[in-house]
Structure 1
């Protein structure tokens, strides 16, 4: 698993630079960060493993740890260390936070796509994680209805998951009023919908925090494309666009691929304790 993931990330560095052209102009490069001795990082509070709050209300997750590691890397050969300032992001606000210059990068479960770069005027980093779209549903009759495409399935509006769902379900059976995964899962518990769609890893995180019995009461249903493969998602940092920021994109990509501390943080949060479901999705998405 570790070796395969490293290969995916390493090979993506050169590839992403060719398929994702720069779009907008913001001079939020590593030189700017070093000059102000401060890096602004957008981070979620509702994405288990990536960005959340623990019982003491403190930030925890991959994105918190990787932000401090990146600041440490930027501090090399500097007289004073680079400080980190977190700004809470959401599914809806993450794009504007980067394009407006409020943050130098946003870290979270952000699905990489050229269409999103074009639409929002941003660049993505190389991927640091791979998962796929799934539906969380109750076992039994509702599971059968979801599998048959005869159920009402919830999803967060204006996400890549919604696009995946629309390619497989009738539009009248998609409820996209939700702003967060937590809202959608609550609607599932209350019986308002028969399933809720999101990236499988995010759904698993919510299921664990809500103590779902995945062996008895609930299950994950993988949505497949016409070719039989799942709708896979590679997660990347959201970075400012613009040619003057291409060096920042290369810097971040090199850090993700080659920095030993960054690799240890990735293994800690996203590799070593990978669940059976997440492993299955990873294998399906990386097979040739």
Structure 2
């Protein structure tokens, strides 16, 4: 079997703070970087901390592996000077707490929020997204907050910081155990996800152990500072957690199918 090539994210530096995006719970911001592109910057100093960035990175790249559309993710370096001249005290504190490496998504200019009442998604695509969100415990894809955008008539996935919520549970969070996901009943695409069983085998084949390790390897050491475990051990925890979830995928697929049958 050929070796899975290492993955790599580009690194850019913030050159201009454009505006805060106050609809986000962690006060993300629109910024311009030294490549002259605009990005939605997720701050390491926000209330959710670096674990939200870890989830954003891992789940975003898993989605990309499955062929789903996700804006390019980049590491974004923030110089301490940005916090000195910001007049808003709350934003100033956030900037100063986020000096160093953050995470950003390429800004999709002109994109609009997905509305299930307006746009009909094909069952296969809906099933792929529901399957991924069940795998990664993503609670943040509801009708109230879809975290889906329509851009050039195509569906794009954003904002995965609330996924992998088990990693907030303490040092043994990755220990293999049954993990029901009842929140799937509120998934905005569940009514359209009629091909869960069909996409399961294909999705599992794409998310090989090698691919998962390559994705988790992207997480910088400086984001893995919580706890006493060294960074590589913490990465191993993410790999073990995801492999355990994959091994139990029939269980969460059945759970999703049962939830869907209850609402259609």
TM-score, structure 2 length as denominator?
0.28
Looking at secondary structure, tell me which structure has more strand per residue.
1
TM-score, structure 1 length as denominator?
0.26
